[in-house]
Amino acid sequence: MKTIGILGGMSWESSATYYRLINQRVRAALGGNASARLILYSFDFAEIEAMQMAGDWDGLTARMVDAARRLVGAGADLLVIATNTMHKMAAEVQAAAGVPLLHIADPAGRAARAAGFTRVGLLGTRFTMEQAFYRAALEAHGLEVLVPDEAGRATVHRIIYQELVGGVIREESRAAYRAVIADLVAQGVQAVVLGCTEIMLLVGEGDSAVPLLDTTTLHAEAAADAALGG
């Protein structure tokens, strides 16, 4: 079994979910008391958030590259960035690490195409929805990607940073997400990509008229499969 290096803590709520899902996948594959070989580098998300809001992407890239090198130095055979937004610097992390980096958008793109979808909605932080780095990764799989309108993007972003990263779940926020998803469905999307690793804490299949592609679960399962040689 290969050792997975996780760049986590962004937030720890979703990193804990990664840990559980990866180990469940490995145990299901190998049976008994088998569990994954993992090394976790967990950032202080308060520092990461402040740098994001300040637009210090060069500083964030330097931190991510340093963490990736530390994981490889500790024995990681492959890397997972356990957050969607920080895939903004995925290419730099990959180049510096010297081991495979499993991009979070790829399992979602493959799942969408396998289901026959060509037009998907994307929910995530404002950075993920508005900047090109994430949409381009999905578009590379032949997908048309739609995002919410300005008001919808503001709502989705606010709830992520003010509630979900702190593990706060509110019914009014679930209703707000349902409304944003409904707007995307009205525009003809065939599925919605949950492009933030905390969103799955708030909404599930019952909140959408079309399938939801949970990047957290898809990414974690892909990491486990890669570690097992699949």
61 catalytic, yes or no? no
For residue 151, which amino acid is it?
A
Annotation marks residue 196 as catalytic? yes
Token pair listed for 61? 């890239």
Q: Which helix (H) or strand (E) holds 18?
A: helix 12-30
User: Are the CB atoms for 97 and 125 separated by under 8 Å?
Assistant: no
Per-residue three-class SS string for 62-113: HHHHHHHHHHHHCCCCEEEECCCHHHHHHHHHHHHHCCCECCCHHHHHHHHH
Q: Look up residue 185 and give its amino acid.
A: V
Residues 67-99, buried b or exposed e (16+ Cβ, 10 A)? bbeebbeeebbbbbbbbbbbbbbbeebbebbee
Omega prior to 15 cis, within 30 of 0: no
Per annotation, catalytic residue among 17, 83, 85, 215: 83
Q: Which of 125, 196, 215, 216 is catalytic?
A: 196
Q: How many CA atoms lie within 13 A of 44 on its CB side?
A: 4
- Report the chain's C-alpha Rg in angstroms: 17
Catalytic residue list: 83, 196
